[in-house]
Amino acid sequence: MEKLKKRWNVTSNWQVFVILLVFSITGYTSLVIAKPILNFIGLGQATTNPWIYRPLRILLIFPFYQILIVCNGWLFGQFTFFWNFEKKMLRRLGFKRFLKSIE
């Protein structure tokens, strides 16, 4: 627990718990949201080749996860942590030039 507190620059075990809770809720929620959207556009799991369906679902999950992580972080009172986490992740993915105006 101390390793996570030091790495994430938080002071209490409660904050670590809330952060882990937000990560888990966001991951599950993004998975749940992606399936009906693919079904809505006519790409159901039963009717679409798995080699097409799974990569499309992963590509759809990614943007939902990015939005939900910040929203859930705000709902749980950890907006600053997750906003900084999000900016760091997007920089690593090559969106650095887009984030200069946000800082």
Average pLDDT, the chain: 87
pLDDT number for residue 98: 63
Nearest to 90 by CA among 81, 102, 99, 82: 99
CB 5 within 8 A of CB 13: yes
Domain boundaries of the chain, sorted by first residue:
2-99
CB 69 within 8 A of CB 26: yes
Reading the block at residue 41, the tokens are 């556009």
CB 26 within 8 A of CB 66: no
- What residue type is 42 in one-letter code? G
* Global confidence as pTM: 0.80
pLDDT, tens digit, for every residue of 38-75? 888 888 888 888 898 889 999 989 888 999 999 999 99
The backbone torsions φ and ψ at residue 10, rounded to the nearest 5 degrees and listed phi first, read -115, 160
